Amino acid sequence: MTETRRPLNIVCLATYFKGAEFMRECKAQGNNVVLITKEKMLGEDWPRDILDDLVALPNDAGPSLFIDLVAFLSKRMKVDRIVALEEFDVVVAALVREHFGLPGLSSSAAKVFRDKLSMAINAQQGGINVPEFVPLINPDEIRTYMETISAPWVIKPRSDVSAIGIRKVENPEEVWRAMDELNERENLRERASYYVLARFIPGEVFHVDSIVNGGKVVFSGVNKYGRPPMQVAHLGGAYISRTVLRGSAEEKALTDINKKLIKALGLPHGATHAEFIKSDADGKFYFLEIASRVGGAYIADVLDAASGINLWREWANIEINNPGPVRNIKPLRKEYAGIILSLAKQEVPDTSSYTEEEIIYRVKKRHHVGLIVRSPRLERVNELLDNYGQRFGEDFVAVVPPPERPE
């Protein structure tokens, strides 16, 4: 006789607008879904039709308020899962889980995926190439580092995402000035000890996006950025990402390194987005950073287009059925896809003059323009994205200075 399991009560945290497909999949499998977001995000297009509850906390809410809210929700239902859909909620979700004794990533394990210093240390200990680094803490250690590792370097916040707050420095004087400026900040968490100094490596940047189950990578996709994200963030222009040639040495090398990385960082299950740079100087791949969530900028849509595998839905399935069988997820197709995305001068950009049959999705977001393309041939994807890169510059692209910190 088959045992009937009651519906799970899944509480999702999303400080930014992410994860609608994750929540829809949870609901489609017969579970109850509650979303906790921030007041500034309440007006977004959340999947309200499937949500059992939607709660907005103040924008400055900390972990204790999340814990208190979940305690309140627990008066009317037994909470089974706490899931962070957005980068800034990863540690908060872990703290909530620990408070209620729920399964999932612990706060100490979660911090490895939020702290660039911790992830670099763990990756290095796992035998993965990492640009030489030093925390901006001890002056003697920093001085020795700068005498040993040639400039240029980058100063980057240990816990922010993408290129937010990163600055390139060319000499020791710039480093000392930056430290002095950081240490004068009123917010203690913005002072120098929350930053790391690392060797700047020119090269092409790749990302590997994975689904992990039982500590094993059961699916991954390898893509390459058109330009390094840091360059796009600081100089403007269109963001481009595309599938790497299937069966290539680059795909194989990055797939293997990514598996090694996940093992070194000890993720039991979930979704990951890892970035690597291929050095122009020595041709080696170096680890840059990793996050324990689905990548942003429509990365999941590009992978879905190329492989038929939706990261959000696969992650939801593992979260719901954990612990469960560990099986590799096989792509439904092996095609190629890519995206071009940019800030736009127009509030509602008109892409009707872009008529190629390979276009499968048009981004619908105010002051943003983007197209996702798919083809059985990588050459065609490259041709379209290169052409669109030039046209976007003339038709749409707006440049805004990168923020010092998340807004």
List, for residues 243-284, the tens digit of each pLDDT value: 999 999 999 999 999 999 999 999 999 999 999 999 999 999
Average pLDDT for 72-77: 97
Judge whether 400 lies within some domain. no
The whole-angstrom separation of Cα 76 and Cα 92 is 22
Q: How many CB atoms lie within 10 A of CB 393?
A: 13
Question: What is the model's pLDDT at position 386?
Answer: 95
Longest dimension (CA), the chain: 73
Question: What is the model's pLDDT at position 240?
Answer: 96
pLDDT for residue 3 is more than 80: no
pLDDT for residue 406 is more than 60: no
Average pLDDT for 70-98: 97
Instruction: Tell me which DSSP letter residue 8 carries.
Output: P
Query: What does pLDDT average to over the chain?
Result: 94
Same domain, 14 and 68: yes
* pLDDT one-digit tens code per residue, 117-149: 999 999 999 999 999 999 999 999 999 999 999
Question: What is the model's pLDDT at position 1?
Answer: 36
Judge whether 170 lies within some domain. yes
Same domain, 347 and 240: yes
Please give the full DSSP string across 109-173, using - where no structure is assigned.
Answer: HHHHTT-HHHHHHHHHHTT-----EEESS-HHHHHHHHHHSPSPEEEEESS--TTTT-EEE-SHH
Question: What is the model's pLDDT at position 2?
Answer: 39
Same domain, 288 and 376: yes
Same domain, 102 and 180: no
Same domain, 235 and 176: no
Domain of 262: which CATH number?
3.30.470.20
pLDDT for residue 232 is more than 80: no
* pLDDT one-digit tens code per residue, 169-196: 999 999 999 999 999 999 999 999 999 9
Please give the full DSSP string across 61-87, using - where no structure is assigned.
Answer: --HHHHHHHHHHHTTTS---EEEE-SG
Question: What is the model's pLDDT at position 165?
Answer: 81
Same domain, 219 and 187: no
Domain of 141: which CATH number?
3.30.1490.20
Judge whether 2 lies within some domain. no
Helix, strand, or coil (residue 402): coil
> Which residues pair with residue 344 across a beta bridge?
397
* pLDDT one-digit tens code per residue, 324-357: 889 999 999 999 999 999 999 999 999 999 999 9
Residues of the chain with pLDDT > 70, as a percent, come to: 94
Same domain, 105 and 149: no
Question: What is the model's pLDDT at position 398?
Answer: 78
Q: How many CB atoms lie within 10 A of CB 247?
A: 8
Q: Are 231 and 390 in contact (CB under 8 A)?
A: no
Domain of 77: which CATH number?
3.40.50.20
Range of the domain at 226: 203-395
Strand arrangement of the beta sheet that strand 32-38 belongs to:
53-57, 32-38, 9-14, 81-84
Judge whether 3 lies within some domain. no
CA distances from 107 to 92, 111, 378 (A): 8, 6, 41
Q: Which long-range contacts (CB under 8 A, 24 or more apart) does 116-121 make?
A: 116/156, 116/157, 116/158, 116/159, 116/196, 116/289, 117/158, 117/196, 118/158, 119/265, 119/287, 119/289, 119/290, 120/196, 120/198, 120/287
Q: Are 222 and 206 in contact (CB under 8 A)?
A: yes
The structural domain count of the chain equals 3
Question: What is the model's pLDDT at position 190?
Answer: 93
